[in-house]
Amino acid sequence: MRRSFLVLILSAFAFVCFAGNATLKTAAQKKDNVRAPFELKLRFDKEHVYDQKVLEQPYVQQESVSLFCGDDYGINVKIENDEIAHITYQKVTAEADITFHFWQEVDKDGKQMMMCNIHNNLARKVYIKAVMTIPFKKGTYKTSIMPVEAGLSGIEIWGAHTIVQMVLYNFRFKGDKE
Long-range contacts from 87-96, C-beta under 8 angstroms, 24+ separation: 87/60, 87/63, 87/171, 88/33, 88/60, 89/32, 89/33, 89/58, 89/59, 89/60, 91/32, 96/121
**How much is the pLDDT for 31?**
72
Helices (H), the chain: 2-32
Rounded mean pLDDT, 131-145: 94
Burial class from Cβ neighbours inside 10 Å (0-12, 13-18, 19+) for residue 28 reads exposed
Query: Predicted confidence band at 161 (pLDDT cuts at 50, 70, 90)?
Result: confident
pTM for the full model?
0.81
Query: Predicted confidence band at 178 (pLDDT cuts at 50, 70, 90)?
Result: low
Residue 82 near residue 173, CB atoms below 8 Å: yes
- The 8-class DSSP code of residue 46 comes to S
User: How large a percentage of the chain has pLDDT more than 90?
Assistant: 69
Query: Predicted confidence band at 13 (pLDDT cuts at 50, 70, 90)?
Result: very low
Rounded mean pLDDT, 43-66: 93
